Amino acid sequence: MSDLVLVLNSGSSSLKYQLVQPESGESRVAGLIGRIGEPEYPADHEAALVAAFEAIAAAGYDLAALGLRAVGHRVVHGGDQFYRPTLVTDEVEREIERLAELAPLHNPANLRGIRSARALLPGVPHVAVFDTAFFHGLPAAARTYAIDPAVAARYGIRRYGFHGTSHEYVAGQVPQLLDRDPATVNQIVLHLGNGASASAIAGGRPIDTSMGFTPLEGLVMGTRSGDLDPGILLHLDRAGMTAADLDALLNQHSGLRGMAGANDFRELSAMVEAGDSAAQLAYAVYLHRLRRYIGAYLIELGGADAITFTAGVGENSVAVRADALAGLDRFGIAVDPERNAAPARSARVISPAGAPVAVLVVPTDEELAIARAAAEVATGQPD
Ligand code: AMP
C-alpha cells in the first residue's frame, strides 16, 4: 500500500482532486474537472472521476495498483450529528443525503462524488470531512438564533458555521508560529476568499463564527450578500419575488459582484484604482463589515493575541490587510507596511516586532487538512 490519500471536493458541476502525502504535506497531483453534465464534458460525477483517475495515471500514479491509504471527501453540511471526520458507510451516505435539506446546493453534489468514488475504489476507506464540524461545539449563546425555539428545533435552525476545516487548520498553526501554548492563545481568523468568514477562537475552541445556518451570513463575499436585515426578504417576498429569486439574488448576484459587477478581487481592486465609484463603494462596504466582525470578536474574546488572514484575498491583498486593521493602534493592533507588502507565500507575521497583537498571514490548505483527517480515521480501521 502507498502512503497517499486522494482528496475529493465534489461540487454541483465540478470535481477537484488532489493526491497528497499527508505527513509531509506534499501534493503529488492536483486538478479540477469542470462543466460536468455539459455537452462534450464528463456526463456525470462518475465519468469525471474516471477522467481524474486518467489524469492522475498520466502523472505516474495508477490508483488501482498503488493502493491508497484513504479517500478524503469534503462534505459541506454535517448537521448536528457529524462533528468529526467519519468513515463513510451506507448509513452515513443516507444521513448525508438527509442533510441535503439543510444544504440543497452542496450535499447532493458531495454525495454524488462519494458514491462514484466508493464504486470505483471499493477496497479503500472513504472518509467524510465536514465543513461544519469545527463549529459544532459553539457556545449556546453564539449558536442560537433569537426565534421561537419550537420553530428552530423543528427546522434544525442554529448557527452551524462553515469553512471549519480551514479555520481549524489555520488556527492550529498560529500558536506554533508564535511559539505559544495553544491553550493560551485567543485568536481571530479571517478566511477571505470568494466565500468569506471570520471566527473567534479561544484556546483552540471556536466561540463564534460569522457564517450561520447557511454559508450566506456574515461577511460580504464575492457573490453573496452576507448579513442583511431579514425584513428585506419579507419585503421582497411581498413584492412578488419567489424563494428561487431571492436565492439567486443573495447567493449569486450580491456581494462584490452585485455591487460592482466583479466578484474577483483583483478585478475589483483594479476598478477601485481606476476610480470606479461602484467598486469604491463595494470595497468600503466589504471593509466596513469585516471591521465590524473584528471589533465584535475582540470583545467576545476579551482581547486577541493573534489576528490571521487566509484564503485568496486574505493571503494576497496587501490593501485589505492594511485597511482592515488601520487605526487600531490603541488596541495594540498594527500592520507593518514593509512586512505586509513583502512578496512572501509562506506563513508569516506582518505586525511590527514586539506588537501586543500578532497579525499573521497563514496560507490555508483544506486539501491537506482533509488528507490528514482521512489518514487518521483510516489508520484506526481494520484492513
Ligand atoms: P479563494 O476562494 O480562497 O480561492 O479566493 C478567491 C479570491 O481570491 C478571488 O476573489 C481572487 O480574486 C482573490 N485573489 C487571488 N489572488 C489575489 C491577489 N493576488 N490579489 C487580490 N486578490 C486575489
- Is 372 annotated as ligand-binding? no
Query: Is residue 63 domain-resident?
Result: yes
| Helix axes of 243-252 and 230-238: crossing angle, nearest 10 degrees | 140
Instruction: Show which of 115, 130, 145 is a domain's final residue.
Output: 130
- How many domains is the chain partitioned into structurally? 2
Burial status of residue 8 (CB atoms within 10 A of its CB: 0-12, 13-18, 19 or more)? buried
Instruction: Show which of 130, 149, 168 is a domain's final residue.
Output: 130
Nearest to 350 by CA among 195, 183, 184, 174: 174
How many angstroms is it from 68 CA to the middle of ligand 1?
A: 32
Residue tagged 489555520 (cell numbers):
170
Pure H helices in 214-317: 230-238, 243-252, 255-260, 265-273, 277-301, 311-316
Query: Is residue 150 domain-resident?
Result: no
The set of cell numbers assigned to 176 is 506554533
What's the pLDDT at 383?
58
Q: Quick check: 348 and 336 in contact, CB under 8 A? A: no
Domain check: are 113 and 233 in the same one? Answer: no
Q: Quick check: 127 and 93 in contact, CB under 8 A? A: no
Burial status of residue 39 (CB atoms within 10 A of its CB: 0-12, 13-18, 19 or more)? exposed
- Which atom of ligand 1 is least distant from the CA of 195? 2
Instruction: Show which of 130, 164, 198 is a domain's final residue.
Output: 130
Is 194 touching ligand 1 by the criterion CB < 6 Å?
yes
- Is 218 annotated as ligand-binding? no
What's the pLDDT at 382?
63
Domain check: are 108 and 212 in the same one? Answer: no
How many angstroms is it from 190 CA to the middle of ligand 1?
A: 14
Domain check: are 119 and 209 in the same one? Answer: no
Is 333 touching ligand 1 by the criterion CB < 6 Å?
no
Query: Is residue 170 domain-resident?
Result: no
Domain check: are 269 and 354 in the same one? Answer: yes
Domain check: are 92 and 186 in the same one? Answer: no
Candidate from 316, 320, 323, 362 with most ligand 1 atoms within 8 A of CB, to mutate: 316
Is 35 touching ligand 1 by the criterion CB < 6 Å?
no
What's the pLDDT at 102?
87
Domain check: are 121 and 224 in the same one? Answer: no
Is 266 touching ligand 1 by the criterion CB < 6 Å?
yes
Is 264 touching ligand 1 by the criterion CB < 6 Å?
yes
Pairing, β 70-75 against β 5-10: parallel
User: What is the C-alpha to C-alpha distance for residues 125 and 374, in angstroms, rounded to an integer?
Assistant: 8
Query: Is residue 111 domain-resident?
Result: yes
- Which residue has the CA at smallest separation from atom 8 of ligand 1? 312
Is 110 touching ligand 1 by the criterion CB < 6 Å?
no
Is 113 touching ligand 1 by the criterion CB < 6 Å?
no
Is 193 touching ligand 1 by the criterion CB < 6 Å?
yes
Q: Which range of residues forms the domain containing residue 221?
A: 180-366
pTM over 0.75: yes
Domain check: are 323 and 242 in the same one? Answer: yes
How many angstroms is it from 168 CA to the middle of ligand 1?
A: 20
Instruction: Write the CB contacts of 117 (distance below 8 Å, at least 6 apart in sequence).
Output: 6, 8, 49, 71, 73, 126
What CATH number corresponds to the domain at position 285?
3.30.420.40
How many angstroms is it from 103 CA to the middle of ligand 1?
A: 25
How many angstroms is it from 315 CA to the middle of ligand 1?
A: 8
Is 265 touching ligand 1 by the criterion CB < 6 Å?
yes
Domain check: are 122 and 184 in the same one? Answer: no
198 phi/psi in degrees, rounded to 5: -120, 150
What's the pLDDT at 340?
98
- Which atom of ligand 1 is least distant from the CA of 320? 21
Instruction: Write the CB contacts of 136 (distance below 8 Å, at least 6 apart in sequence).
Output: 78, 80, 83
Query: Is residue 347 domain-resident?
Result: yes
- Which residue has the CA at smallest separation from atom 15 of ligand 1? 312
Note the pLDDT tens digit of each residue in 26-75: 999 999 999 999 999 999 999 999 999 999 999 999 998 889 999 999 99
Query: Is residue 154 domain-resident?
Result: no
Domain check: are 90 and 227 in the same one? Answer: no
Domain check: are 112 and 232 in the same one? Answer: no
Gap between the terminal Cα atoms of the chain: 11
Query: Is residue 171 domain-resident?
Result: no
Candidate from 313, 323, 345 with most ligand 1 atoms within 8 A of CB, to mutate: 313
Domain check: are 295 and 354 in the same one? Answer: yes
How many angstroms is it from 31 CA to the middle of ligand 1?
A: 18
Catalytic residues: 131
Query: Is residue 328 domain-resident?
Result: yes
- Which atom of ligand 1 is least distant from the CA of 267? 12
What's the pLDDT at 104?
84
What's the pLDDT at 337?
98
Q: Quick check: 164 and 130 in contact, CB under 8 A? A: yes
Candidate from 266, 290, 321 with most ligand 1 atoms within 8 A of CB, to mutate: 266
User: What is the C-alpha to C-alpha distance for residues 267 and 229, in angstroms, rounded to an integer?
Assistant: 28
Is 79 touching ligand 1 by the criterion CB < 6 Å?
no
Domain check: are 240 and 298 in the same one? Answer: yes
How many angstroms is it from 97 CA to the middle of ligand 1?
A: 32
User: Which portions of the chain are predicted below pLDDT 70?
Assistant: 382-383
